[in-house]
Structure 1
Amino acid sequence: SWYDDSGVYKKEELDNDVERIRQVYFDEGYLDVKLGRPAVDLSPDKKWFTVRFPIVEGPQFRFSRIGYKGHTVFSDAELRSGSKLQEGDVIRMEAVREDIKRATDVYGAKGYAFSDINPLIQPDPESKTAMVTFDVKEGALIRVRNINISGNDKTRDKVIRRELRVNEAELIDTAAMQLSFKRLNNMNYFETVEIVPKQVDPSTVDLDVKVKEKSTGTFSVGGGFSSLDKLGLVADITEGNLFGRGQLLKIRGQLGQRRTQGVLTFREPYLFDEALSAQVDLYARQTFFVSYFEERRGADIVIGKWFSEYLSGSATYLLERLNISNDLSNQLFLGGGGVAVAPVTDLPLLVQQQLGKSTTSAIILGVARDTRDVYVDPKSGARYGLTTEFAGGPLGGTNDFYKVISDNAWYFPMAWDTVLAPRARVGVAHSYTSGSHLPVGDRFFVGGIQTMRGFEFGRAGPVSSIDNVSVLGATKQLIFNFDYVFPVVTEFKVKGVLFFDYGKGFEDGEAWGLNLRKAAGVEGRWISPFGPLRLAYGINLDRRTGEKAGVFEFSVGSLF
């Protein structure tokens, strides 16, 4: 290979290759496979080696009977519950190992942390079947004496302990240990996490929680480009573990050709040391939408609650002032914004109706179920989210509208450390009183790296018929993304993505349907210290007049 040493002859690896080949056969049911010593021949030009592995495959075996012995705590039916092994199926040793892990976890969840299960395989060459008996050594019930935490020079002990799902003086639970490991990793405070049981006596262990901290504070100044913001300068100061308390403080400023903003965020993940989180955001944003300006200044307070390990909810109160205009004065943009002011009469009617100042006072309720293994770069699990927003009415303000969004993503591990990641989003928003409008900035802008790659911002939805340039946003959206994620440089967390996007924002009054816009392309991702960095090129498979054949975009931020 041009980028590593694969394909280079290594004599010392031959024995390992023999075992790898043997394992491949075992995983396909060839239990009596015979492999001889490999023969190595050098080509006449002395540039290549030919390696031949002599193989006698033998018959493929199937399960004739599956059983257990040595067990007293659980019945056969309890141990078989959830097993994927079936009598008559081909014996695949990888599946046998997975079943051993499953049964071991059954014991581990009840405090038998050191149970040992081994398969006894009795093949019958005549019938080409084998009887598999799992020999169980249950061991003793194990309790946790002490939990010792080390390596946390900055992070306070209680910040780590509150993420653990194993407690002192209780029976050990291996499933809870795995969940604790996952939760500590998802804090994103540590380079490495280890949870190691150290046996004190036959029925007691100490748990050694060893972490290696990484920098949680960043200061960055840089630039970027997107189809909405165009060129932009960004300064960001973030501390994700403030004073070792697990709190988040973030200050972000952006000066761009199309967007200028300032945001201040503070988050307390365990309010009053309970499973409650609190977050406060203060923000000011100015955005140029091709032919008009939108200014937002406001604040919100978010209270979150965990109902279980995977189910959470949040309640937000938001208060903001909006100003929509076509006046370039008092607007702060990089290089003057690179904009041209359009006369009011040339603006889309939707925008003309909303020129001036308004106020939004809203309650936002959200619920999510999240089983992803790793939040930043998931390989398995799913996330289901539902958000509802209600503005105006008894809450005050001049904007009366509602908004509902469902956002769901799934992650399926595939061969060669690849992941299939489909995502589905549906949203609807409307004003509910006569004389009031859904603020144009609260409409759904479908198109761009966050929604439909291959389209410029908002152009997979309604566009003004006056200039065929101004994006209007939609009151309904339906988006399906299909990503196939594969490793490129594993040690640097660089990945590639092949994607197909199918969706659109619907015109006002248009009925729901599946005649959606299409795009496909390739994306590069780097899980950097500043968050996921994305470079995407999408090809518009449903090109219309005025649209580009393809769009290249760049972003830094969350994938979900």
Structure 2
Amino acid sequence: MKMSLSLGLLFTFLLNFTTTTLTAQEVSYDDGKKYILGGLEVTGLQSYNEQTVKTYTGLREGQPITIPGDEISEIIKKLWGLELFTSIDFYYHVEDNDKVFLELRIFERPTLSKVTLNGVKKGKIDGILEDTDLKKGKKITESLIANTKNYLQNKYKKQGFLNTKVNIATAKDTTGTNTQSMVVNVDKGDKVKIKHIIFEGNEELSDKKLAKALKKTKKKKIYRFWKKSKYIEDDYENDLTLLIDKYAENGYRDARVVSDTIIEVDDNNIDLKIAVEEGDKYYFGDIDFVGNTVYSDRQLSRVLGIKKGDTYNGVLMRERIADEKPDAQDLTNLYQNNGYLFSSINPIEISAENDTINFEIRIIEGKETFLDHITVHGNDKTNDHVIFRELRTRPGQRYDKSNIIRSIRELGQLGFFDAEQIVPDVQNPDPNAGTVDIAYNLVESGSSQIELQGGYGGGGFIGTLGLSFSNFSMQNLFKGEAYKPVPMGDGQSFALRLQASRSFRVYSLNFSEPWLGGKKPVRFNLSLSRTQQFGTSYTNTGRIDVDKDRGFSITGVSLGLAKKVLWPDDYFVVQHALGYQLYEFNNYYTGLFNFGNGASNALTYTFGITRNSQLGGRIFPRGGSNFEITAKLTPPYSLFSNKDFEALRDRSEELTPVVFAQGNADTAERRELEAVDGERFNWLEYYKIKFKGDWYTTLVKDLVLRSNTEFGFLGNYNNDVGDVPFERFFVGGDGLGNFTLDGRDVVQLRGYENQSLTPVDPLTGRQEGGLVYNKFSLELRYPLTLKPSASIYGLAFLEGGNAFNNFQDFNPFQIKRSAGVGLRIFMPAFGLLGIDFGYGFDPDASGTPGPSGWQTHFIIGQQF
């Protein structure tokens, strides 16, 4: 006799499931009988090994077994738990009344062979398949299909596609054994927009105020571009909380949302109806502090900033107790910035009399906390001492939250680590001992850059080799084992740049040590440079000939010291620098200067004050400011000279237009002008004042506004000497000035051709550079990615600026305007790269009528 213990009977009694009916006779679970297992056969397998399934059941021939009984039910439960089978049945027959033979008949679930996803962008398919675990070889189950469908519907509902429909179909795939292909059709439909937001029950606060309180739930308006109208359930729920907060800010503590209803207008539009109950308006009563010994009631009240009789504002109370901003001026930070890490502050409503609420702010100060161990992790290249000297936290020091925040900023400003991933970890807090450890987790970012490029310009090939190491180690320069690939880790900077073509050569070397002597933050700078420009001429065929016997060169050296100071605050740095430049002319006549033979010397002293409080790293600052004012001065040589500079200047102004009209002809007037200006400018005397300020403001989340203003003025001590022909301001274009022969400042102003806003000299009719310039800009920045391998952000800008021949002509409101968009990419190995598309609304300085129009600017290695 052969009987079936199918799922129909076993699951009726054991698992409450139903399946096929019994094929022999019904057997009651209560009538279980003991047998000896004579054998087990597994049938129906397609891809699994029979012996593997037998082993998994745990049944062995000769063991006693009760049928029906717990052994069979547990085996079925285990097999179902694998989610590999669609049907599981046991059949048995008995011989000699005590020996039973079992047949396990199973049907395998089909295996997924391939997936076709329709209605989704190609770039999104791989991500969806990974999130839903739809991969080849996966068993097709009801839960897999249901989870995939729910995931896709919820994914697009969160993006505002409330009517998303997902259909999933499977079909047998004859290319494999028991395999099926799957087709997933996604119909997102159109985004559902909010046509109207209807408020009911509001009398004290207007519809407009309540609608404004909903930060992400906005009704459809034609002019709204930045925040589109769409319904997202999670955002809507959060906005309802903000709606109640708006009431709490205005004294209505008991306000609540009575109901909210979604009304379907059509397939693409809905209305939201929100009913509120405002309640009564309340005011602050007595506010008593309990448990405070470190600070007096008056000190705490000053920080709290809430007085008796003020309109009740629950949001303000919450923020003044503990704001989400790490550097907020609140009571929690007041304690934590002064050593009380384990303090807790809780406002309690102790009574409500009519419309007045009395509070008791209960403070548990805890034990004063001190730092025990300070550790750093993740600095594979940078030496520990470079990091520790920047930290504001020291072992044994009293705990101060503001010092941790400042340490994060200082580490980010180094440029050696990814500022977005600097994480301080407060470890091992011990309230009884009053100690805590801090571990700074760092991620190294590239600190070396290489510039290797070639191009064609100026009639010939231009080759550039640049090496820049911002985390260099000079002391390991002669240690072969330290080259990985160069000595690194001591925080020094070293840059070498070579650029050459047939007509010019540029050499420069810069070295900087930020902690001279290793004890104090005194930065030492050394800079050497040599620039040569050779004479050129065009042949009849248009070819450029280079004459190296004619040329102009600048040789310069500069030594500088910069020291951090503590007043007015410790963001300030005072800089001093001494420099010498030698300008040499050898039969070099281009019309740029009045003399083509001779030399000029400049001995300069530069004094500068900077204040840098940027937050969020150098690449993408999110807050703070950075301003710099410098004064570059030469000695007033004319005060100690017997030369008649007035006569020299008058003669130069008389000869200049004559010589300019004669061109490059070797005339007596030209030779006289060379002698006159060579004597006037043998030793340059001037003063140069520059100011630059940047302010960064986070508007919403990652959207940052950079505000910038710049000003520069080049003056002279003695009007009889006149203004020097070097060190002038050239405005317009991309702002790149890698090849400048006269110490000029090249000022970026996008939307115009390079240096095209430089004024024309009235005597010569040529652009000799401005003596005054100013510039203003607003720039909206949004990061696309801020990963260590590559940081990318987009921007939109408004700019205005201009250059002027003298201070008398200077008008800060007479500016050339532009607007546009751009993209910046920072890669550690190559520095900052970018492109800008700017539109100039005004004419440039050439006199050509009409706006400058669209200009494209490529940015390479520009300052952040």
TM-score range normalised by the length of the shorter chain: 0.7 to 0.9
Q: Structure 1 stretch 266-275 or stretch 510-519: which is displaced more?
A: 510-519
Counterparts of residues 363-402 of structure 1 (less than 5 Å) = 363-373=605-615, 374-393=617-636, 398-402=683-687
- 1:106 is matched by which residue type in structure 2? L
CA gap of 1:17–1:456, structure 2 versus 1, over 3 A, is closer
Question: 2:442 aligns to what?
Answer: 211
- Aligned length in residues: 534
Question: 2:168 aligns to what?
Answer: none
* Correspondence for 2:340 among 109, 112, 116: 112
- 2:530 is matched by which residue type in structure 1? A
- 1:550 is matched by which residue type in structure 2? W
- 2:529 is matched by which residue type in structure 1? Y
Counterparts of residues 224-303 of structure 1 (less than 5 Å) = 234-242=464-472, 243-255=488-500, 261-273=506-518, 274-285=520-531, 295-303=553-561
Question: 2:257 aligns to what?
Answer: 34
Q: CA deviation at 1:466?
A: 8.2
State the SS of the aligned residue for 1:165: coil
State the SS of the aligned residue for 2:386: helix
Q: Identify the structure with bigger relative contact order (alpha carbons < 8 Å, sequence gap 6+).
A: 1
Is the Cα contact below 8 Å between 2:415 and 2:618 reproduced in 1? Answer: no
Q: Distance in 1 between matches of 2:551 and 2:818?
A: 32
Question: 1:193 aligns to what?
Answer: 422
Counterparts of residues 512-531 of structure 1 (less than 5 Å) = 512-528=810-826, 529=828, 530-531=830-831
* Correspondence for 1:312 among 573, 580, 592: 573
Q: Deviations 1:296-323 (Å, cap 9, x if unpaired)? A: 2212111110003201011111112224
- 1:398 is matched by which residue type in structure 2? W
Q: CA deviation at 1:161?
A: 0.6
Q: Distance in 1 between matches of 2:305 and 2:422?
A: 31
Counterparts of residues 82-231 of structure 1 (less than 5 Å) = 82=303, 88=310, 91=313, 93=315, 96-97=318-319, 99-101=321-323, 102-120=330-348, 127=355, 134-191=361-418, 192-202=421-431, 203-222=434-453
Q: CA deviation at 1:55?
A: 5.1
Q: Structure 1 stretch 244-253 or stretch 457-466: which is displaced more?
A: 457-466
Question: 1:459 aligns to what?
Answer: 756
CA gap of 1:400–1:185, structure 2 versus 1, over 3 A, is same
CA gap of 1:155–1:356, structure 2 versus 1, over 3 A, is same
- 2:384 is matched by which residue type in structure 1? D
CA gap of 1:504–1:84, structure 2 versus 1, over 3 A, is farther
* Correspondence for 1:442 among 693, 704, 727: 727
Is the Cα contact below 8 Å between 1:417 and 1:486 reproduced in 2? Answer: yes
Q: Distance in 2 between matches of 1:24 and 1:313?
A: 47
Counterparts of residues 388-537 of structure 1 (less than 5 Å) = 388-393=631-636, 398-433=683-718, 436=721, 438-450=723-735, 451-464=748-761, 470-488=766-784, 493-508=791-806, 510-528=808-826, 529=828, 530-537=830-837
Question: 2:296 aligns to what?
Answer: 75
Q: Deviations 1:100-126 (Å, cap 9, x if unpaired)? A: 232211111210123223444689798
CA gap of 1:490–1:253, structure 2 versus 1, over 3 A, is same
- 1:64 is matched by which residue type in structure 2? F
* Correspondence for 1:322 among 566, 583, 587: 583
Is the Cα contact below 8 Å between 1:29 and 1:60 reproduced in 2? Answer: no
State the SS of the aligned residue for 1:181: helix
Q: Deviations 1:393-439 (Å, cap 9, x if unpaired)? A: 47997211111112222222213432332222222212334675544
State the SS of the aligned residue for 1:414: strand
Q: Distance in 1 between matches of 2:438 and 2:530?
A: 47
Is the Cα contact below 8 Å between 1:303 and 1:315 reproduced in 2? Answer: yes
CA gap of 1:150–1:233, structure 2 versus 1, over 3 A, is same
Is the Cα contact below 8 Å between 1:42 and 1:50 reproduced in 2? Answer: yes
Is the Cα contact below 8 Å between 1:84 and 1:99 reproduced in 2? Answer: no
- 2:820 is matched by which residue type in structure 1? V
1:64 and 2:310 correspond: no
Q: Distance in 1 between matches of 2:340 and 2:319?
A: 19
**How high is the TM-score relative to the length of structure 2?**
0.55
State the SS of the aligned residue for 1:455: coil
1:20 and 2:238 correspond: yes
- 1:105 is matched by which residue type in structure 2? N
Question: 1:337 aligns to what?
Answer: none
Q: Structure 1 stretch 149-158 or stretch 436-445: which is displaced more?
A: 436-445
State the SS of the aligned residue for 1:97: helix
CA gap of 1:234–1:23, structure 2 versus 1, over 3 A, is farther
- 1:72 is matched by which residue type in structure 2? T
Is the Cα contact below 8 Å between 2:818 and 2:841 reproduced in 1? Answer: yes
Whichever of the two has the greater Rg, that structure is 2
- 1:58 is matched by which residue type in structure 2? E
Is the Cα contact below 8 Å between 1:316 and 1:364 reproduced in 2? Answer: yes
Q: Distance in 1 between matches of 2:595 and 2:245?
A: 67
**How high is the TM-score relative to the length of structure 1?**
0.81
* Correspondence for 1:359 among 591, 594, 601: 601
List alignment gaps of at least 5 residues for structure 2.
1-119, 125-155, 166-230, 324-329, 473-487, 538-549, 641-680, 736-747
Is the Cα contact below 8 Å between 1:259 and 1:287 reproduced in 2? Answer: yes
Q: Normalized per residue, which structure has more strand?
A: 1
CA gap of 1:457–1:169, structure 2 versus 1, over 3 A, is same
State the SS of the aligned residue for 1:445: strand
List alignment gaps of at least 5 residues for structure 1.
328-342
Question: 2:221 aligns to what?
Answer: none
Q: CA deviation at 1:362?
A: 0.8
Q: Deviations 1:211-266 (Å, cap 9, x if unpaired)? A: 2222222223247999x999975433222112211111122234579985332211
Q: Distance in 1 between matches of 2:435 and 2:470?
A: 36
Q: Normalized per residue, which structure has more helix?
A: 2
Q: Deviations 1:375-407 (Å, cap 9, x if unpaired)? A: 332222122321011124479972111111122
Q: Deviations 1:65-88 (Å, cap 9, x if unpaired)? A: 483444332223322435566764
State the SS of the aligned residue for 2:729: coil
Q: Distance in 2 between matches of 1:60 and 1:555?
A: 60
Q: Distance in 2 between matches of 1:147 and 1:154?
A: 19
Q: Distance in 1 between matches of 2:776 and 2:692?
A: 10
Q: Distance in 1 between matches of 2:455 and 2:320?
A: 46
Is the Cα contact below 8 Å between 2:707 and 2:778 reproduced in 1? Answer: yes
CA gap of 1:393–1:553, structure 2 versus 1, over 3 A, is same
State the SS of the aligned residue for 2:857: strand
State the SS of the aligned residue for 2:410: helix
CA gap of 1:123–1:410, structure 2 versus 1, over 3 A, is farther
CA gap of 1:512–1:17, structure 2 versus 1, over 3 A, is closer
Q: Distance in 2 between matches of 1:113 and 1:37?
A: 42
For the aligned residue pairs, the C-alpha RMSD in angstroms reads 4.2
Question: 1:334 aligns to what?
Answer: none
Q: Distance in 1 between matches of 2:375 and 2:423?
A: 11
Identical pairs, percent: 22
State the SS of the aligned residue for 1:190: coil
Counterparts of residues 2-21 of structure 1 (less than 5 Å) = 6-9=159-162, 16-17=234-235, 19-21=237-239
